[in-house]
Amino acid sequence: MIDAADQRRAEVRALTELGLTEAAQAAAGVHRTHRAISDRVFAVARRGVGPTATHIQRVHDPITDGIYRTIDATVTTAARLGGRWADLPLSTPPSTSTRGAGIIGVVHGLIGDELDAKQSTLAANNLSVRVAGRPVTPDAAGLAHAFPRPTRRIAVYLHGLVETEHAWRLGQRTSAPYELHLTNRGVTNVFVRYNTGRRISTNGHDLAELLDDLVRFWPVDVDGLTLIGHSMGGLVARSAAHHGRQAGHLWPDKVRTAISLGTPHLGAPLEQLAHHASAALTTQPETDALGRLLRRRSAGIRDLRAGSLLDDDWLDRDPDSLAAAVAADVPLLPGADHYFVWATLARNPRNLLSRSLGDGLVLHHSAGGRNRTRNLGFDPAHGFHRAGAHHMTLLNDPEVARQLVSWIAPD
C-alpha cells in the first residue's frame, strides 16, 4: 500500500503538472484565435491601404508568435518541473480531503477519460467505496473494518457529474443528510466515488463488480439493497444493474429499491447544445479554439446527450457526428421498486420556466424516462416533484428525505 506522504506528493505533482499543461494549451488556443482575427483584419485592411497592411503584418506576426512561443515554453517547462518536484504541506493526500477531492472530482468530470487512458495518479481509484474520504478494500477484512456496525439493509449512494461522495452532505448545517434519516431506520449507508469522465457503461461494469464483492463479503447477510443515484449516478446504477444481470451476479436480486434524483434518463439538453455548438464553432478559424475546447469534454459528459448506458451505444461511432445519439432502452431491473424525483425552478411544473429549464439541467420527461418516442417503464405514480428547487437541491433536501424514508424504510 502506498504511503500517505508519497500519495500526497504524487497527487500534488499530478495536479500541478496538469494545471500548468492545461494553461499552456489554453494559451495555444488564444494564440490561434489571435492569429485568426488578425489575419482577417489585415486581409480587410489590404483592400483599403494596400501593401502598407502587408508590411505591418510582417512585423506583427513574428512578434506575436514569439510572445506566445515564449509563454508556451515557460509554462510547459514549469509543468514538467512541477510534475517532478511540487509538494504542499498537507496533512492528507488531496483525494482524501473534502476540498481536494472536490477539485479532483471536477477534473474527472471534464477530462477523466483522458486521465484514465494515461494511467494518471489522479485516476488511481476510478471507482471505490469511500469512508472518511479514503477508499475501502471490498473484501471481508476491509468491509468489517470500515463498517463496524453493519445492518442487513444497505443503501448505496452514487453521486453525479463532477461530484464526489461529499456532495451528499451539501447544506448539512441546515438540513440533515439523507444518511442520518436512513441510519435511524436501520439502514447502513455506503458511499461510492467514481471517475465521472469515464464512459457510463465503463463505470457501470466496475460498479457491478464492486457491488458483487460488497454483497458477498458484507459482514452480515444482506436482506435488501437500495441504489440511490443523483443525476449521472442514476444512469450508472441502471448500467450496473444490466451488467450485473448479464454477468450472473447475485446482488441484483438483492435490490429492493432503486431511486434516481434528477437523472437525465433520456438525455440532458445542455450536453445536446454543447454537441451542436462545438460543431458550429469549429467551422470558423476565429472560434475554432473554443470549438476544440468543447470537443474535449469527457466521454462521460458525451454519454449524457441521450443517456447512453451500454458499450454498444458508443463503440465504433464518431463522437462528433451530428447524427442522433444512440441509447439502447435498457429495461429497469425486475423485482425492484423504481422511483424518481424531479425538480423545477418554478413552483408550478406547467409554466414556461419549468417546461423549458426543469431543474436547470434536467427536464421532467427525462427524469421520468418518458417522452413521445421512449418509455423506460417508470410508473408515474412513483415520481415525486420537488417544486421551486434546482438540480443540486436534490442532494440534500428535507422534502426529498421524507420521501426517501417512505420508499426505503417506512417502518
d(C-alpha 258, C-alpha 378), whole Å: 11
Out of 36-45, 92-101, 142-151, 268-277, pick the least confident: 36-45
Q: What is the mean pLDDT of the chain?
A: 94
For residue 284, how many other CB atoms are within 10 A of its CB?
A: 12
Strand bridging mode 187-194 / 127-131:
antiparallel
Query: What average pLDDT score do residues 245-263 get?
Result: 97
What pLDDT score was predicted for residue 40? 87
What pLDDT score was predicted for residue 58? 87
Cell numbers at 96, concatenated: 482524501
| pLDDT-derived band at 1, boundaries 50, 70, 90 | low
Find residue 192's DSSP bridge partners: 129, 158
Count H helices, E strands: the chain?
13, 8
State the pTM of this model.
Answer: 0.93
* 379 neighbors 370 (Cβ within 8 angstroms): no
- pLDDT, tens digit (0-9, with 9 covering 90-100), for 286-342: 999 999 999 999 999 999 999 999 999 999 999 999 888 889 999 999 999 999 999
Q: How far is CA 337 from CA 172, 232, 255, 382, in A?
A: 28, 19, 9, 9
d(C-alpha 141, C-alpha 213), whole Å: 12
Helix (H, G, I), strand (E, B) or coil at 192: strand
* 353 neighbors 346 (Cβ within 8 angstroms): yes
pLDDT surpasses 70 at 259 = yes
- Could you give the count of Cα atoms lying within 13 Å of 256 in the half-sphere of its Cβ? 13
Dihedral sign from CA coordinates of 117, 119, 121, 124 = positive
**Percent of the chain scored above 70 by pLDDT?**
100
What pLDDT score was predicted for residue 48? 80
Residues with Cβ within 8 Å of 228's Cβ and at least 6 positions away in sequence, in order, are 155, 156, 157, 158, 178, 259, 261, 404
- pLDDT, tens digit (0-9, with 9 covering 90-100), for 199-217: 999 999 999 999 999 999 9
- pLDDT, tens digit (0-9, with 9 covering 90-100), for 173-199: 999 999 999 999 999 999 999 999 999
Beta strand ranges found along 93-223 (DSSP E): 127-131, 134-135, 153-158, 187-194
d(C-alpha 148, C-alpha 131), whole Å: 12
Q: What angle do CA 341, 342, 345 make, to 5 degrees?
A: 145
| pLDDT-derived band at 113, boundaries 50, 70, 90 | very high
Out of 184-188, 273-277, 349-353, pick the least confident: 349-353
d(C-alpha 255, C-alpha 240), whole Å: 12
Query: What average pLDDT score do residues 58-75 get?
Result: 87
Burial class for 55, CB neighbours closer than 10 Å (0-12, 13-18, 19+): exposed
Residues in the chain: 411
Q: The domain at 125-267+327-408 falls in which architecture?
A: 3-Layer(aba) Sandwich (3.40)
Query: What average pLDDT score do residues 250-272 get?
Result: 97
